[in-house]
Amino acid sequence: MKGKIWSFLIIFTFFLNNFSFAQNNKPNIVGTAGILIEAKTGKVLYEKNAHLCLEPASTTKIMTAIIALEKGNLNDKVATSERAFKSDGSRIYLEVGETLTLEQMLYALMLNSANDAAVAIAEHISGSVEDFVKLMNEKAKEIGAKNTNFVNPSGLPDKNHYTTAYDLAMIARYALNNPTFSKIVKTKTLNIPWQGKEYDRTLINHNKLLWRYEGADGVKTGYTLSAGQTIVASATRNGMQLIAVVLKSQGKNIYTDAISLLDYGFNNFERKDIIKKGEEIGIINVKYGNPVTLIASQDFSFIVEKNNNEPITFKKDIPKIIKAPLKKGAVVGKLNFYQGEKLIGSIDLVSKDEVKRKISTYLWFKVLILLLIVYIPFRIRVGINRYKRYKRKIKYLSQFSRDNDFHY
């Protein structure tokens, strides 16, 4: 009996160890390149060839949507040109001269991956596709996508049209901060007008994860023969949003790759919100002014492995002497965060209130006080002496007058 119990315990322990290994083992994706990041902090949780330049296909349209949202108005009327009408690939079959709002065009762009809508949007915003592409590349560099170059707003193949998994993750992270973008990319279906038809167009989001994966909330799929299957996928669970990017995968593997990355992130990591923006950190003395309360300039969160119980601590890094005057919100130091001995990030510490310099601390004021201390007694003495002289003069004149009266 004891032998059976021991055998069971050994098998059970082996199962637990292997289950733990499976939970923590990094995913093995089919795609040539991939990355997984946490959206709020940008922390990289997994990467494979993340900086390898590859074709993005229709995930390009994430940048197209960003530019349109930042440069246009959702109620703008967008007309379809001959060039837009003749677009290759995925379309919603816009007719020459057909007009939709920019908002409707954006839904067509991101749900149905409409290349004709991409061209129409580009021409509406910049006057030409070429000028629009310049905005795309400028924005990419601004976001930090340094190994990206766009030559069109749709993602159709071109040897000079490329990006990396890392760059796409940064672009998607930036885009998801826009509430309208987030609303569009998690929409499953939508009807928009169809000129000349008695019925509307029905847009159906190409991103199947919206139906298949718990918490999925975006972003964009893509495919061309040369690019293979591509995806930028996002999902949110327990307040933590992850972004997975896979480039040059094959067939249905694009979804299993994305799910594998997202599962790995949700199973093994959690976000800890350490400091909230505006949280009071302490009070410091200010030379020439009153003490001031320091507050956090921004939120600070950190992604940790679920089995890592090492505490996160922080230390203030503030100059020994802080002088008034200080504006409200002035940076006066940093708050550094550590996990063990490792520095994991920092934020600025700012003054909660304005600190005016006390008038008594100015040199001119001290000089003035010194002058007053010397000058006022001096003027008093001068006044007293003048009064005494005046009294003596009056006394003398009075005596002189009496003497003259006597002789008469």
Which residues belong to the active site? Answer: 58, 61, 113
Q: How do the residues of the chain divide into helix, strand and coil, expressed in percent and rounded to 5? A: 40, 25, 35
CB 258 within 8 A of CB 229: no
Cβ partners under 8 Å of residue 93, min gap 6: 116
Q: 210 phi and psi, to 5 degrees?
A: -60, -25
151, 171, 179, 352 from 78: Cα distances, Å = 21, 25, 22, 47
- Cα–Cα dist 121/63, whole Å: 12
CB 233 within 8 A of CB 219: yes
Q: From the CB of residue 270, how many other CB atoms can be counted at a distance below 10 Å?
A: 17
Peptide bond into 377 cis (omega under 30): no
